[in-house]
Chain A
Amino acid sequence: MYGLIDLWKRFSAARALTLLLILMGTCAGMGAFGQDAGATAEAAAAPKIDTGDTAWLLVSTALVMLMTPGLALFYGGMVRAKNVLNMLLKSFIALSVVTVLWVVLGYSLAFAKGSPFIGSFEFVGLNGVGQEPDDFYATTTPHLLFMVFQLMFAIITPALISGAVAERMKFSAYVLFIGIWSLVVYSPLAHMVWGEEGFLLKLGALDFAGGTVVHISSGASALVLAILLGKRKLGSGEDVRPHNLPMTLIGTGLLWFGWFGFNGGSAVASNGLAVSAFVVTHVAAAVAGLVWVLIEWVAYKKPTALGFATGAVAGLVAITPASGFVGPIAAIVIGAGVSFVSFFAIKMKAKLGYDDTLDVFGVHCMGGIWGALATGLFAQKAINSAGADGLFFGGGFELLGKQVVGVLVALALAVVGTLVIGGILKATIGLRAADDEEDAGLDLALHGESAYAGPSYGAEAVVAESGAMFAPMPQPEKA
């Protein structure tokens, strides 16, 4: 109760403070805009809400929200029928867990001014984040809208990790992991890359919509957590084929659709740059899906639906950091390139022996790295004056070098953060479901429900009211 009163006091104080700041800012003429893509010249006067920008960002926010259910279906179709509800819920629960944390603390750690590495507590409880524009992040839309747009990114990022730990991670450990990860890894990284004083932003490393913040961070964490967790316990020759690929393809469609908001919305304006990002996003996804299918056709003689879905998502991942800086021809190269990168990264999995169940590392981390580096190759100031020229557009190696720094920082933070959080959870509450729970399927064992009615799903396990999860099967009477 004390905490609530305290929070309310701070809230009122900060409201007043914000108003004062806005007045002062208006008087001062509001100079000094950074490299933020949305900071267009016409906004340099007094901050004023632009209805077009606000409308597009509202739509984009809703689009990005839809990606999390899309991800749930994308992943859900790839697991076995006995684990599909657990898989779906691991995405959906991120909507709740991250939303609460983001409003209370996460947004402040990511976007309030503080240090070059992490934000302060200025925006705790969304203090001072209101209907007025922000002078750096959202010059023409309500600051509150920018906050909720960013929230949708913060939600899907930890949810991406769930694919790597599918079919065996304990639900409680997962919920704690993504909650802590969101505050300890995501918020600081978002601050470094997008924060007004973030050191990667100041350095000039470019990440338009989250190649490092979203994909490299989640993909690298996914691999580390999968290794900490260990492989699934599979009998030799156990059939682990995807149980419902049409579900995965519906998810792919929703992800592709939502990604227009993810990348197009990251212009934080309804303008030419948003359209450019929209176009290259679509082109990269289309090319990557096609190229993946072609690679399979050559390697295995048959094009597959799962291959197309994987390629399209990899294409969307790769174009994400580049989407506000590159043109459509570069998008073709980026899309084609990522299919090779991710295809062979996934092939490595079998050789290296880790169980990144749904290839989060191969698609998101490797795809994100390729996209971040490709930004250093193909970025053009002609597309976005707030960006830079890459290696192929007369910028030399300067931008590419900065991109490498961005990639390495994201990798380091994700790996160390995941080792610490995962290690602590493993040593305390444990990360894995019990072996018999894994056998019976997480849906029945952890959630007490089955996705599909019928005798074949978990029928062998009797859920006893006594709390003994797996009572022995009743023996048939001897004839």
Chain B
Amino acid sequence: MMKVEALIRPQKLDEVKAALSEIGIRGLTVTEVRGSGKQKGFTQHYRGAEYTVNLLQKVKVEVVVPDGEAQRVASAIMEAARTGEIGDGKIFILPVAQVIRIRTGEEGESALT
């Protein structure tokens, strides 16, 4: 099994959710995160005092799928989240050692859905 972990623009979350739903992915976890990368930060002024914000708001979407589906999920996210500008985010694909459904104790791929 693989975990597809995508860091995307917050305003792209709804489109990504819709794209995943279209390819039959229902189980996902969404977290508000902050991070930095190539995208430049911005400055704010509070009574003239300058603050540079370089940890930017992003949304992390996590989906765990059987090995063969990871690429398809990644493509769907990529298409939905892309604007073409710096700051679109990244996708990580990681192996997952085990999945256990808490309610029943089922293990492995059958616990995924």
Contacts and interface: CB of A to CB of B under 8 A. Distances in A.
Contacts of A306: 46-47
Nearest to B52: A237
Interface string B36-65: 000000001111110100000000000000
B44 A347 contact: no
B51 A296 contact: no
A296 B45 contact: yes
Contact of B48 (A239, A241, A242, A346): A346
A310 B47 contact: yes
Interface string A285-296: 000000000001
Nearest to B48: A347
Interface residues of B, number: 7
With a 10 A CB-CB cut-off, give which of B44, B45, B47 has the most chain A CB atoms.
B47
With a 10 A CB-CB cut-off, give which of B45, B48, B51 has the most chain A CB atoms.
B48
B44 to A, nearest CB: 7
A241 B49 CA distance: 9
A2 interface: no
A239 B45 contact: no
A266 B44 CA distance: 40
B13 to A, nearest CB: 22
B46 A304 contact: yes
B35 to A, nearest CB: 15
Contacts of A241: 44, 46, 51
* Number of chain A interface residues as a range: 10 to 19
Interface string A232-261: 000000010110000000000000000000
A347 B49 CA distance: 8
A307 interface: yes
Interface in B67-87: none
A307 B49 CA distance: 11
A359 B47 CA distance: 9
B47 A346 contact: yes
A302 B45 contact: yes
Contacts of B51: 239, 241
A165 to B, nearest CB: 17
A307 B47 contact: yes
Contacts of A346: 47-48
A344 B44 CA distance: 18
Interface string B98-113: 0000000000000000
A123 to B, nearest CB: 41
A306 B45 CA distance: 9
Contacts of A262: none
Contacts of B49: 350
Contacts of A299: 48
A343 interface: yes
Nearest to B51: A241
B47 A300 contact: no
A70 B92 CA distance: 49
A356 B32 CA distance: 34
Nearest to A237: B52
Contacts of A350: 48-49
Contacts of A304: 45-46
A306 B49 CA distance: 12
Nearest to B49: A350
A164 to B, nearest CB: 14
Contacts of B47: 306-307, 310, 346, 359
Interface of B: 44-49, 51
11 contacts: A239-B51, A242-B46, A296-B48, A299-B48, A300-B48, A306-B47, A307-B47, A310-B47, A343-B48, A346-B48, A359-B47
Interface of A: 239, 241-242, 296, 299-300, 302, 304, 306-307, 310, 343, 346-347, 350, 359
Given A302-B45, A346-B48, 15 more contacts: A241-B44, A241-B46, A241-B51, A296-B45, A296-B48, A299-B48, A300-B45, A304-B45, A304-B46, A306-B47, A310-B47, A343-B48, A347-B48, A350-B48, A359-B47
